[in-house]
Amino acid sequence: MKTHLKINSPPHKPNPNPANNSTTRFAVAVFLTLSSAIALPSCGAASTSSAPGGAASPSSGQNEVAASAPPPPPAAQAVGQRSKTPGASKKAAETPATRPQLIKKAQLSVVVKSIDASSKSVTNIVEKQQGDILGFQNQKPPNSSVRQTASVQIRVPQEQLETTLEALAKLGTVENRSLTAEDVTDQLVDSEATLRNLRKSEEMVLKIMERSGSVGDVLKVSQELSNIRESIERIDAQLKSWRNQVAYSTISLTLQTAVSAQPTPEPSLGLRVQETWGKATHSVGELTLGLFGLGIWLLAYSPYFLLIGAAVYGFNRFKKQDSVPTIQEPKPPQ
């Protein structure tokens, strides 16, 4: 494209000042340069619009410039990729790894010197760890050759399980120690999803009940609503039970005393005689009281005994009269 510039100037007159002529030429040169700079982009746009086929391709110049530009450094490419996917990185940051839901149960057997003293220590340890004692059973042996045993059922927060086990192990000598864990993560997730679906179904059934209909339809919808609510209550109770078992771990503690090396001394002869005499007098007293009580019972029922005796006597007498043979008188001779 050619740019025509027409300048109307007055008739040339000799300029006596050559400095003004040079200034004028410089201004004209600057004006021509600015005009050409403004006209060239418009010419490029026009030539682009007149491409073959009449299809405009405004991005061809940009593609050429981008192709001719040097490739960015790897760091810049990585930054660009991260900037293109901010949602993915944000989503990954908002969804951390799910912690497994475990039901932990521990068993511990400890040999101690004294069951009573150790039981008090166990109570203090459980209170310190913010737990509870669910049960306590103490079995005293008949003789010293058998160990005295006590069983304790403990419940503590799962975060305090290891600390509690270490504190209980210090009560004496550990004979047995075990720990089991059951993963209920899948059960919890499935139950929560089922519970959400049931609640949505409950809302839909309630909306259906608001519509007018026959009595039979209303009864059917009410029965369906009752079944849904029963399922919701059952699953909700199971979820609460699992969450409680996950939050609190149980410990089955067994306390045992060591077997004494010295046998228990036998009682003396006088003590044995005294114990035997006491047992004998106690037995005689029990027998006397029993006979006295029997006599009172017989006295109370004596009227019935008399009636029964009279009936038996009358029956026997009547039987004897029937068994006596009749004597026939002899007839006189004719």
Residue 196 lies in a domain: yes
Q: Which CATH number goes with the domain that contains 132?
A: 3.30.70.260
Residue 308 lies in a domain: no
Res. 8: pLDDT tops 60: no
Residue 130 lies in a domain: yes
Residue 280 lies in a domain: no
In a shared domain, residues 154 and 179: yes
Residue 267: predicted pLDDT: 67
Encode the chain in three state secondary structure.
Answer: CCCCCCCCCCCCCCCCCHHHHHHHHHHHHHHHHHHHHHHHHHHHHHHHHCCHHHCCCCCHHHHHHHHHCCCCCHHHHHHHHHHHCHHHHHHHHHCCCCCCCEEEEEEEEEEECCHHHHHHHHHHHHHHCCCEEEEEEEECCCCCCCCCEEEEEEEEEHHHHHHHHHHHHCCCEEEEEEEEEEECHHHHHHHHHHHHHHHHHHHHHHHHHHCCCCHHHHHHHHHHHHHHHHHHHHHHHHHHHHHHHHHEEEEEEEEEECCCCCCCCCCCHHHHHHHHHHHHHHHHHHHHHHHHHHHHHHHHCHHHHHHHHHHHHHHHHHHHHHHCCCCCCCCCCC
Residue 305: predicted pLDDT: 87
pLDDT in tens, 259-291: 654 455 566 788 888 888 888 998 999 999 999
| Other Cβ atoms within 10 Å of 140 Cβ, number | 9
Last residue of a domain, one of 227, 246, 265: 246
Residue 321: predicted pLDDT: 77
Last residue of a domain, one of 136, 166, 183: 183
Strands 132-139 and 149-157: antiparallel
Residue 20 lies in a domain: no
Q: At 319, is the pLDDT very low, low, confident or very high (cuts 50, 70, 90)?
A: confident
In a shared domain, residues 119 and 152: yes
Q: What is the pTM of this model?
A: 0.48
Mean of pLDDT over the chain: 74
Tokens of 164: 């509690």
In a shared domain, residues 110 and 174: yes
Of residues 89 and 167, more confidently modeled: 167
Domain count, the chain: 2
Q: At 192, is the pLDDT very low, low, confident or very high (cuts 50, 70, 90)?
A: very high
The predicted model gives 5-21 an average pLDDT of: 44
In a shared domain, residues 217 and 172: no
> What share of the chain in percent tops pLDDT 70?
63
The predicted model gives 181-195 an average pLDDT of: 92
Last residue of a domain, one of 162, 183, 204: 183
pLDDT in tens, 202-215: 999 888 888 767 78
Distance of CA 45 to the CA centre of its chain: 70
In a shared domain, residues 170 and 233: no
Residue 88: predicted pLDDT: 42
The rounded radius of gyration (Å) of the Cα atoms in the chain is 56
Q: Which domain holds residue 141?
A: 102-183
